Amino acid sequence: MTKGFHRFLRTGSILAIASLTLLGGAAQAASWTARGNEPGWHVEVSDTAITFSTMEGETFTIEPLAEPVRAEDIEVYTGTAGEKAVTLVAIDKICTDNMSGMPFPKAVVMTIGERALVGCGGDPLSLLIGDWKVEEISGTPVIAASETSIGFELDGSMHGNASCNRFFGGFTLTGEGLTLSPGGATMMACLDGLMEQEQKFLAALEEVSRFESLPDGGLRLVDPEGNTVLALRK
């Protein structure tokens, strides 16, 4: 979680934002999940219900679920579980899981009575999908006009320009990280500099173990030691 988000919690701004959100009108709910650590908890949000559970076995479901209300990049869901008021605040802001390092598109606060739980929500895949330009390979800027790129598709395939040749393959995104699996490439010959960069790029793909989403819209693909092997930008 970011320091700014913790300041948001400490100042009690949740209630203020919820009040502003109530003025923003209702918005259509979308299915998504959120989770947090210490203690471990998980919530599923659908169009009709919120289902909450913890690693200790606590569970409850709020159903039917009123449509959330929204202001700018914040959604607020409300309900009751037994005699306790429940509020779920979701902010469209990059949130990094403090155990796995996985980035998520939502920062989430869930209050159950007097208890507040902080976590991340949404699908990390949404931060990865699309076509990206490669800016750096292992800290070295790519050759100007080399058009090195990589694209990720919803079906788990990847493709791009390795610097000289087009390449293709697949990727696997799990709760543990990101694995890239180059499958093949065209066989054109190019200038020596481009061929050397291409070999470096293809080798870097196999070193990736996770990704980081940056506030400015960039993406970093990193190795198990946390070193940036590819710096990307749309």
Question: Where are the domains positioned within the chain?
Answer: 3-121, 125-233
Q: Which residues of the chain have pLDDT under 70?
A: 1-30
**Residue 121, Cα to own-chain centre: how many angstroms?**
8
Please report, as a single letter, which amino acid is at residue 182. P
pLDDT tens digits, one per residue of 141-166: 999 989 999 999 999 999 999 999 99
For residues 107 and 137, give the distance between their C-alpha atoms in angstroms, rounded to a whole number: 30
pLDDT reported for residue 30: 64
Same fold, 3-121 and 125-233: yes
pLDDT reported for residue 58: 95
Residue 207's φ and ψ, nearest 5 degrees, are: -90, -15
pTM reported for the whole predicted model = 0.83
Q: Which CATH architecture has domain 3-121?
A: Beta Barrel (2.40)
Indicate the Cα dihedral angle 154, 156, 160, 163, nearest 10°.
140
For residues 220 and 125, give the distance between their C-alpha atoms in angstroms, rounded to a whole number: 14
Core vs surface per residue 43-63: b (16+ CB within 10 A) or e: bebeeeebbbbeeeeeebebe
Is the domain defined by 125-233 classed in CATH 1.10.10.60?
Answer: no
pLDDT tens digits, one per residue of 100-155: 999 999 999 999 999 999 999 999 999 999 999 999 999 999 999 899 999 999 99
- CB hemisphere CA count around 131 (13 angstroms): 7
